[in-house]
């Protein structure tokens, strides 16, 4: 936006949930990785994700939405995993 005339009139946002156009994935320094073989589909990652960045389809976790994941690591910490093996691990971004 360069000129004030391009501002939305009256600061009204006309579209619900338009924040989806703003991608927060670049905030991330750690990246969650999903190990499908250890996943028990408890959906705790989906429930606890503060950024709605866990993708689910038909009631099952299918991966992460890296456009929005801020890399906080709550999902990895809360993941119960299978037999002590986590289904989500955090890895440094860019490696």
Partner 1 sequence: METRELLKWSAQVKLREKSKQEGRLEHGHRMCAGCGAPTVVKMVLMATEYPVVLSNATGCLEVSTCIQEFTAWKTPWIHTAFENAAATLAGVETMYRALLKKGKMPENVKFIAFGGDGGTYDIGLQSLSGAMERGHDMLYVCYDNGAYMNTGIQRSSATPLGADTTTSPAGSANPAGKLQQRKDLTRIMADHGIYAAQASPSHWLDLMNKVKKAHSIKGAKFLNIIAPCNRGWRTATDNSIELSRLAVETCYWPLYEIEDGKLKVTVTPEEKKPVDLFFKPQGRFKHLYSPENEGVLEKIQAQIDKTWERLLKESEGPC
> How deeply is 73 buried, as exposed, middle or buried, from its count of CB atoms within 10 A (0-12, 13-18, 19+)?
middle
Binding mask 2-41 for partner 1 (x = CB under 8 A): -----xx--x-x-xxxxxxxxxx--xx-------------
Pick from 31, 39, 64, 72 the residue near partner 1 by CB under 8 A. 72
46 in Cβ contact with 61 (< 8 Å): yes
d(CA 94, CA 60): 28
Q: At its nearest, how many Å lie between partner 1 and the CB of residue 63?
A: 14
* 30 phi/psi in degrees, rounded to 5: -120, 145
Contact residues for partner 1, defined by CB under 8 A: 7-8, 11, 13, 15-24, 27-28, 42-43, 46-53, 56, 58-60, 65, 68, 70-74, 76-78, 90
């Amino acid at each position: 936006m360069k000129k004030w005339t391009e501002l939305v009139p009256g600061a009204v946002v006309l579209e619900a949930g338009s924040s989806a156009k703003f991608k927060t994935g670049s905030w991330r320094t750690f990246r969650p990785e999903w190990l499908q073989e250890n996943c028990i589909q408890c959906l705790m990652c989906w429930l606890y994700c503060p950024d709605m960045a866990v993708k689910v389809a038909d009631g099952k976790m299918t991966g992460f939405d890296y456009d929005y994941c801020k890399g906080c690591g709550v999902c990895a910490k809360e993941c119960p995993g299978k037999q002590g093996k986590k289904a989500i691990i955090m890895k440094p971004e860019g490696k």
